[in-house]
Structures are given as structure tokens and as C-alpha cells.
Structure 1
Amino acid sequence: MEIKFLGTADSGGIPVHNCLCSICEDYRVKNRQNLATCAYIESDNKEIILLDAGVENISFIFGKKTIKAVMMTHFHPDHALGLLRLRYSKDSIDCYHPKDKNGFSDLFKHKKAIIYHENVPFEKIIINEIEFTPIPLKHSKNTTGYLIESKNKTIAYLTDCAGLYNSSIDFLKSKNIDECYIDAGLSPNLSKGNHLHFEEATKILDEIGAKKSFLIHTSHTILEHIKLNNIKLKYKYL
């Protein structure tokens, strides 16, 4: 099992429109871009399981591939935008999500091809022999990360969050995790917010103790702060 990212940035992406910072300019020179955080797993049978759907043209990216399910962390636009088009699919697609009365835009009102299932924290969801366990995260909208377990690998996908509840930390520490991806999107000039600062994320990753750990939900502001201050990170941003 391998998790692949379509993007690992915050909602602004990189480069940011009309921003002349060194990071955005470097991305333009190298013809690079980093889209909002969104990932996927391709099952053994070649079916796709999405982790969030923040990339607007997901329906184009996967063309004629079968999207078996979407595992939503929450319904902020930069994680749900792709559902607006994906709901016009000719296939029925299961979407698992944390409890949210409003969701995003009119997705719940005009479901079309999407079948919504409210997840239950710490209750496993099995898709194509892969187990997804929703993990409550602290954020401005009700949010769940996911522990993803296959026969050969265990992955923790923890975005977006300003912290983890004790029950979530204890659950993750009880697992032998191969890879952990955690939100570290808080701007360096802010003392608090709805995301983790990279120093806060590092402490949590140390506590979880995965074999490999990475920071996600990055921004041009964070990357330039690290660059200008010559900061050496224990865990790298993707």
C-alpha cells in the first residue's frame, strides 16, 4: 500500500497569485506548483480511494479509473472542492466523513452520484481489504484524520488539526505506524490558530513514534520563514 499526494499545501497553494516572495518566485522559475492537501491510495484491484477531494479536477485526473470511496477529513473548501464535479460521475461513489450538519456548499442537497456516510470515531471502515479508522482532530470544523491499515503497512493521515485529543494520541501510540503525515500549516507569526506550528507538530510526531514522519499542509509563508532563518527541521515538509 502506498499513499500518493496530489498536493500537500494549504488552501492558497504554491505559488500564491501575484506573490513575489522567494518561494513563489522559485516555484515559477522551476514551473512547479503545490496544490491543496489531497491524497489517494490505489488498491490492489486498481480502484482509487481518495483521502480528501480538494483538487478541483479530480474527475479529470482519474479519467476512466474507478473511484471506490472518498475518505473526507472535513468539509472546508480546500478539502472538498473536487466533490462538486465528482458528483456528476456515472458511478456511485461512497464518501465517508465526520459529522457535519452543513457540509460544503450544496453537496448534501444535491448528492447526485455521491453517497454520504457519517463516520464514527475509532470505528473501522473496511474498503478493498484496507481498514480506515477515523481519528478525532482539533480543528475549526469537525474533523477526523485516518489510521490506514493494510496487510503490509500502517499509515496515519492527520490533516487539518491544531492538536490531537488524548484519546487520539493514545490510540496512535498503541499502533506500530510505518508512516505519519501531520498538519503543520500554522504561519510562524501566529501564536495560535486552527493548525499546528512545525514545532508543535514535531513534538506530536515524536510522541507517536512512526518509522517515517512528514509535515504537510505547508504554505509559502512557512517555507520562506524556514529558509530565511536557516531552520533545520527534524521532519521535512512534503
Structure 2
Amino acid sequence: MAFKLTFLGTGDSAQVPVYNCYCPACELARQNASFVRKPCSVLLHLDGQQWIIDSGRMDLSELFPAPSLHGILQTHYHADHAQGLLHLRWGVNLRLPVWGPDDPVDFADLYKHPGILDFSQPWEEFETRKIQNVTITAVPLNHSRPCLGYVIEKDQFCLAYLTDTVGLPERTYQWLKQKKMNYCIVDCSMPPMPTTPRNHNDVTTALSMCEGLHIDKLLFTHIGHELDEWLMQHERDLPAHVFIAYDGMVITV
């Protein structure tokens, strides 16, 4: 199989269930593990190699015994997307590439004490690299820290992974407009809000940022408990091509 994507987590920074919250969405997640949302990340199977996008899960060494993990694509260095690196770095006898944005602040002391992690190849905006026969392009997003989305292409297949962001920079929108995307996975943390959100999309901004793009299936991820509660009543109101990602969901080509 040339390409497979597995959602390792689809939650926002608080995850679901939220600690000490007893809203209907959090209660449901406590009763049924299929509604739990762990830190937002995905696993990519790329022509025989395994790479993850983001490293917020704290059990990476258990999920990927050495040497099964080949590298990490970081969208950015906020804790909920990078905290798993703090433990993973203390492995031995290997080097693990971590390709992310050029962010001199990074997270905690990762750059100062990287251990087995290799941060030496940060992305330039719209830079393209190949892993095996899969092409990956890093595109800039709108966030409070330097943040990148990733566009993954193999033959006629195209998938975009765009989190964390509020809308899209115009240069990214124009670049994506030239693509025909089979899947576009976007940050949507909140139900429709009365004002434009600051760091993450609500339903309104998530749909708006994709207007005019050529997308077969639009998937929401980075989901918070308030959105899950809203979806209990309103999921059928979403456009027919919009779907809600869940932990363990798999996309195969």
C-alpha cells in the first residue's frame, strides 16, 4: 500500500473528555472510548516508511518501538503538538529527523538538549521534499507561533493537513487553489461563534477558508468538547462533503 493515514488524535489542547467537565460530550467520552479525543496528530505510511505529523501524544515510544518510526513532521511547537518529544529525545543509538517550521523559541529546551532528535532541516515556506515516492510541501498557516500545514501528493492523489490555523494566508490559499484535493483536513475546534476566533477555526471560519478550493472530502479535526456537544444536534446541518474525524480513523489509497 503506497499511502495510509491514521488519526492518532483529533482533540484540541484540552482533549475530550475535558478534566472535571460534565457536559454531554465529555460524559459520552467517559462512557464510550470511541468518543475520546487525544492530542491532534496523524500517522503517515509512506511507501513503507512511518512518519507522524505532530508529537503531542506522550506514549510515542510505546506506539512506535524503535526503529519503526522514521521521522516527524511538526506543524509547530505548542505543547499539545510537541510534548511527546520531551520523552522521545532521550532514546539512544539512532537519529530521528524532526522537520518543522523555523522557530527559534521551539518548545521548552528541545533545541538546547535534542538528544536523538535532529532539528537541523527546518522547512522553508512552500518547500517540497520527497519521502520515498511521496511528495510533501510545507505551506504557511495563521497561528500565534510559526506554523505549517502539509500537502501530501502521490500520483493523482492529494491530501492537505491544515492545523492549527484561523483561515488561510492569501499566499497559501492561492497555492492550494491550483490543487485538486481528495481530502482536506482542517482545524475546527469550536461551534459557530458570534465573533471571529483568534487561534483556531470555528465551524464558520473552517468552511469559509475552504470556499473556492477543489476539495472532494473536507474533514474537521482539532475538535473541542463544545464542538462535540454542538455536533450532537447539528452534524446533519453540515454540507454533504464535510466529515468529522475521530481517533483511529483511517484513510487509505
Q: Place the TM-score, normalised by the shorter chain, in its bin.
A: over 0.9
Structure 2 match to 1:77? 79
Q: How many residues align?
A: 237
- The answer to whether the 8 Å contact 1:186/1:193 transfers is no
Structure 2: tracts of 5 or more residues without a match: 246-253
The structure 2 residue matched to 1:161, chosen from 154, 162, 165, is 165
Structure 1 window deviating more from structure 2 (204-213 vs 161-170): it is 204-213
Amino acid at match of 1:223: D
Query: Match of 1:211, SS?
Result: strand
Q: C-alpha displacement at 1:11, in angstroms?
A: 0.8
The answer to whether the aligner puts 1:51 opposite 2:18 as a matched pair is: no
Structure 1 match to 2:63? 61
Structure 1: tracts of 5 or more residues without a match: none
The structure 1 residue matched to 2:108, chosen from 97, 105, 108, is 105
Structure 2 match to 1:93? 96
Indicate the RMSD between aligned Cα atoms, in angstroms: 1.7
Higher RCO, 1 vs 2 (CA within 8 Å, ≥6 residues apart)? 2
- The normalised TM-score by structure 2 is 0.88
Partners of 1:110 and 1:157 lie apart in 2 by: 29
The 1:130/1:230 distance shift into structure 2, 3 A limit, reads closer
Structure 2 match to 1:213? 218
Identity %: 30
Partners of 2:237 and 2:158 lie apart in 1 by: 27
The 1:187/1:203 distance shift into structure 2, 3 A limit, reads closer
The 1:196/1:208 distance shift into structure 2, 3 A limit, reads same
The answer to whether the aligner puts 1:127 opposite 2:131 as a matched pair is: yes
Partners of 2:18 and 2:194 lie apart in 1 by: 19
- The answer to whether the 8 Å contact 1:39/1:52 transfers is yes
Structure 1 window deviating more from structure 2 (138-147 vs 56-65): it is 56-65
Partners of 2:235 and 2:125 lie apart in 1 by: 39
